[in-house]
Structures are given as structure tokens and as C-alpha cells.
Copies of this chain bind each other. A is one copy, B any other.
Amino acid sequence: MKAHATEAEIQDVIKMVEALDYRAHVIRGVERSVVACVGEERGESHSLQHLESVAGVDRVMPVLRPFKLASREVRPEGSVINVGGVPIGGKRLAIIAGPCAVESGPQVEGAADAVKRAGGHLLRGGAYKPRTSPYSFQGMEDEGLLLLENAGRRVGLPVVTEIMDAHDIDLVADHADMLQVGARNAQNFSLLRRLGKVKNPILLKRGMSTRLEEFLMAAEYILSEGNPNVVLCERGIRTFETATRNTLDLNAVPLLKEWTHLPVIVDPSHGTGIWSLVTPMALASIAAGADGLLVEVHPDPRTALSDGPQQLKPERFAQLMAALAPVATAVGRSL
């Protein structure tokens, strides 16, 4: 309550709180009083937050975190998600790699070979591309999806690809092992809800300005519709720093591991935007406790149709994997 709230205002608030099925406790302080509200907020459509517009009320401060199915308390041992035979979330790290965008058969085949040879576990590649400009390359779409599927099948790697449009869900779910939600759709709740009805596991990227609590609420949209297989991906947030494309928020890794049972991986390619930073930040991600990586690998980044500056050449990806092995061991994980 405000400092000068009257007793009548306090009693009014108590009545409203009780009408919403909460119990109200008044704590009278030196300068102002606090009305503590005890009850079950999460499933309710009436939020106490609206009391902020009531006379005498200063602020409404929620105490409980709002996620439920994503909460660590639900499964303290942590979830292991199976993606086409590859477990994500266990002792073994999951390395997902491949080109930003599928650009041609030879390109994706070359990338698949490079990923397989260096010891990667899953193949990624964008068929439908979210691009800031409508004039940029938008992806090979359905054709790209099939090229990716074939490349993965040939080398024996499950494939991951981004879904941008609910319209494409059935097709993509048939041809890809895991569906990725990109940062720009991180709060596209219509899409999230539909992905909750799909059988494939979902790779959910954090949005550029999504707080960790909101990130878990986005996962909660998928979980609450019946799909329990969600992997979270930190990919950098937008800050004032312009020297890197994004600011990779590795704090998110150990904090999410405390809050949720869902596996957490990191994308150091988008998280930095600069190829020379990808390997050091990949090592840092694993040292921080991540369950895996999402890395962009392209047979020839100079000719890439999107995000060239952050894609690794095959030999550099092989170097990353070689550098990663001892770090994984040092933190009790394996490749």
C-alpha cells in the first residue's frame, strides 16, 4: 500500500483479494502496510497485478516464479531428450552443426560430411530463413528440407531445421527429427502452441530480449499442450555492445539448469557473429555446464548466402571439436 493509504483503502483491498480466492494477511510496517496474498496464481485468468490501479495500492509484487511444468522441482534429476537416437541432456554432450542455410545439394552434403567427420551428433541447416530484409535470400524452403534430410540420412545424423510458419509444420515434422523455433519467434505463441501438439522434440531459442523467466514461460506453452520434449538454446541477447552481433549470456546456462529440468545448449555462432570467437565461446559454454552446442559450419563461408562471417570452415570446426574434448572431460562430460 502507499505510505498514506487509509484503513478504508486497506480493507477494500483485502475484500478484493479475498474475492479472487486468495487469503490476505496485513503486515503493518513503520512507514507503510503490506497486504500479503496467499493462493494459487498460476492457473488463474484473474491476476492480482490489476490491483495496481486500485486506490491506495503502490505496487503488486509476485513472489512465486510462474512456470510450472518446466520447473526443476518437477524432475530434479533433469530431462534427457531423445532426438533420432541422440540423447540431449545426459553426460554426453550433443553437438549440432551445419550450415546456416541450405543453399544447394553439394553445399549441404559437404557440410554433412564435415560435421560427421569431426564427430558432430546432429546436422542442422535452415530451409526456411527468417531474414531482416525481404530482399535477402529466404531459403530453399521445401526443396532445402529434402536436401537436408537426404544429407543427414546418408551420413547417419538426425537433422534439425527451423520452422517459421505453422503452415509448414506437418511437412517439416515428417522430414526433420527436431524442429527449431528461432529467436524472432520466441514469443510467437500461436506457433508454440501448435508445436505442443507435435511428436518431434523442439529446439527453442531464446529471443533477443527475452528474460529467462519469459523463456521458460515460452517453453511452458509447448509443454502445456502435451509435448514434453523441449531443448532450450541460449543464442545471445541484444545489448548496447556493438562489437559483437549479440551478447552471449552464459549466466543463463547455470541459472536455467537450477530453474528447469530441460536441457540447455548454446549457439556461439549467433551469440558472437564472428567466427574467430566461436571456438573460445564454445569451450566456455561447455565449461559453464551446457548440454551441447549449435554451431554453424559451411564448406565455404565466403560464398554463404547468409551469415557468412560467423560460419566455420570444416577444418576450423574439426579444431573446435578437438579443443572441446579435454574441456568436456575437465567438467565431467564426454563428446
A residues whose Cβ falls under 8 Å from a Cβ of B: 3-4, 16, 25, 27-32, 34, 36, 38-40, 42-47, 49-54, 60-61, 63-64, 66, 68, 73, 130-137, 164-167, 184-185, 187-190, 193, 207-209, 211-214, 217, 220-221, 224-225, 237-244, 247-255, 258, 271-272, 274-277, 280-281, 283-289, 301-306, 308-309, 311, 323, 326-327, 329-331
Expressed in whole angstroms, the minimum distance between the Cβ of A24 and any Cβ of chain B is 10
Instruction: Determine whether the beta carbon of A209 is less than 8 Å from that of B250.
Output: no
Instruction: Determine whether the beta carbon of A244 is less than 8 Å from that of B255.
Output: yes
In the assembly, how many copies of this chain are there? 4
A239 and B247 in contact (CB under 8 A), knowing A32-B64, A280-B289, A287-B287? yes
CA distance A218 to B60 in the complex (A): 26
Expressed in whole angstroms, the minimum distance between the Cβ of A237 and any Cβ of chain B is 6
Q: What chain B residues lie within 8 Å of A242 (beta carbons)?
A: 211, 242
CA distance A52 to B39 in the complex (A): 24
CA distance A230 to B131 in the complex (A): 20
Expressed in whole angstroms, the minimum distance between the Cβ of A149 and any Cβ of chain B is 21
Expressed in whole angstroms, the minimum distance between the Cβ of A16 and any Cβ of chain B is 7
Given contacts A241-B249, A241-B251, A251-B272, 15 further A-B contacts (CB under 8 A): A42-B133, A44-B135, A49-B309, A130-B187, A134-B193, A185-B188, A207-B209, A238-B240, A239-B249, A247-B251, A251-B271, A254-B277, A254-B281, A323-B331, A327-B330
Q: Which 3 A-B residue pairings sit nearest by Cβ, starting from the closest?
A: A50-B308, A52-B309, A209-B209
Q: Which residue of chain B lies nearest to A71 when distances are taken between CB atoms in the complex?
A: B3
Pick the residue among B225, B240, B286, B309 that contacts A209 (CB under 8 A). Answer: B240
CA distance A118 to B114 in the complex (A): 43
Q: Which residue of chain B lies nearest to A222 when distances are taken between CB atoms in the complex?
A: B134
Expressed in whole angstroms, the minimum distance between the Cβ of A271 and any Cβ of chain B is 7
CA distance A184 to B329 in the complex (A): 39
CA distance A280 to B256 in the complex (A): 12
Q: What chain B residues lie within 8 Å of A239 (beta carbons)?
A: 237, 239-240, 247, 249
CA distance A31 to B302 in the complex (A): 25
Instruction: Determine whether the beta carbon of B280 is less than 8 Å from that of A254.
Output: yes
Expressed in whole angstroms, the minimum distance between the Cβ of A176 and any Cβ of chain B is 17
Expressed in whole angstroms, the minimum distance between the Cβ of A67 and any Cβ of chain B is 8
Pick the residue among B36, B137, B220, B281 that contacts A45 (CB under 8 A). Answer: B137
Q: Which residue of chain B lies nearest to A209 when distances are taken between CB atoms in the complex?
A: B209
Instruction: Determine whether the beta carbon of B133 is less than 8 Å from that of A66.
Output: yes
Instruction: Determine whether the beta carbon of A134 is less than 8 Å from that of B224.
Output: yes
Expressed in whole angstroms, the minimum distance between the Cβ of A14 and any Cβ of chain B is 14
Expressed in whole angstroms, the minimum distance between the Cβ of A293 and any Cβ of chain B is 13
Q: Which residue of chain B lies nearest to A236 when distances are taken between CB atoms in the complex?
A: B251
A250 and B253 in contact (CB under 8 A), knowing A45-B136, A63-B34? no
